[in-house]
Each structure stands twice: as structure tokens, then as C-alpha cells.
Amino acid sequence: MSYKKQIVIMIGDVVGEPGLLALEALLPPLIEEHKATFVVVNGENVAEGFGITAVTLNRILGAGADVVTSGNHIWEKREFYPTLDAESRILRPANYPAGNAGHGSVMIEKAGLNWLVVNLQGRELMTPIDCPFKTFDAIKQTAQTPLILVDFHAEVAKEKEALARYLDGRASLVVGTHTHVQTADERILSKGTGCITDLGMTGVMESVIGMDKQICLDRARTQILFRMECAQGIGAVQGIVAGIDPETGKTLAIQRLSQKA
């Protein structure tokens, strides 16, 4: 059976209640506008900026996400660990050591197609966990679909670009998250993998990476680690929309999204 081009939306880190409200307001019309088949949202900062809860997870899924990815802050709420184990649509980075709660990849059937979503975390300037390159290789060995979407939650652009190059032709999309600053380097690599160094964030732009700007200024000036709080105000949604060839898994088009509620 031949399928037409599939549209994928991937959304950057949702920061706090303002980010969640923006997602709830803007994601459904974005899905309708682009006729999106599959949606991935990074939700690791949705619960007051740090971690995720069962309630906030359900709100992200209710807004239209098919899979929710995360990163280093997924471990902030210990009471959420049972949900990490029980709910297949919430991922934590796959390259954390074995035995931790949750899982790092999931296969979802939708629109007659199998979609594999893989969540990985970088190691440069972050906790030196297991190798994301080898972890992807192990997951790829059993993949039964060309439609593979990768959220690489990492600090350093060089590491994100390196992974995208490593996965070129083996994944449909490789998108960076974590820095909350949307980059302007969305592109399609030579073997057909679409990538961007960072999706950006879904939260208040009049802030410092979604957090209260005065607290961030005080922390930077005094070097005292005052407790971070989410910025308040009207949020925006950032990410990418991409067209994927369902037969080959290659990206045919990719563009940035940045829209204020």
C-alpha cells in the first residue's frame, strides 16, 4: 500500500503552567493547519519547571501529543516513577543505566504506519551516562519501521550535530532539546535525515529560558543559587513541522515553528 507524505510536529520543552496553557491553545490548531499525522512533545519541565506529573502528562497528551519525551529533569518527581513504568507514551532517555524506571523508546501505530520514537541524552557538560550512539544502534537493530523520530536532549551543539550526522539515513528526524533556545539550522542532511540543533521551548519568551528573569539575574550576579521559578505571562510554542516519506523514512521538508498564544 502506498502512503502520501506524512506530517510530523515536534515541540520543544514545555516550561511550567504558562507553557502548558500555550500548548493547549496552539497545538490543536497547528495539528489541523498542517494536517499532522504524528506529534512529539518534550515535557520534562512542565511541572513548575522541573519534571512532570501524571496530571500534566495527561494534559499534554490531551492537547494532541502522541508521545511525550523528556531529559535529565524527568527524575525530579519520584512519585511519577510508577507512571514512567506503566505509561508507554512517556519516555525518559534510553541511555540511562538499566534498572531505572521507565523506557527510552516506543513504537506507536497510527494512520496505518509504525512510528518509532527514541529519547536520548547527551554527555558533554551533562551527567556521563551510557553512550547515546551505541544506545541508538542497539534500538535500531530491532526496529521494524523506517519512521524513526529522535529527541536528543543535550547541552552542546557539537554533540547534537555529531549524533545527527551519525544517524543520517537511519532516522527520519533528529532534533535537539534542553537548551530552550531555538536554533536557525533546520536542514535535511545528505542521506535524508531532517535535523535541528534545538527545537526551542514552549513557555514565556520574556524570561531566561522560561524562568523568572529577575531570579536568573540575581543568581548570575551573586552566584547564590536562589530557587528558580517559572516566568509568568503569555507563552509561545516552538518546534518544527516536517514532511516525511513513509516508504523510505526520509525527510522531504522541514521548517521551524514559533507562535505566541
Chain centre to alpha carbon of residue 80: 18
Are 46 and 241 contacting, i.e. CB atoms less than 8 angstroms apart? no
Q: What is the DSSP string of 141-196?
A: TT---S-EEEEEE-S-HHHHHHHHHHHBTTBSEEEEESS----S--EE-TTS-EEE
Catalytic residue of the set 34, 73, 153, 178:
73
Chain centre to alpha carbon of residue 201: 9
178 is catalytic: no
- Residue 215 and residue 203: Cα distance in Å, rounded? 16
- Residue 191 and residue 245: Cα distance in Å, rounded? 13
Active-site residue numbers?
73
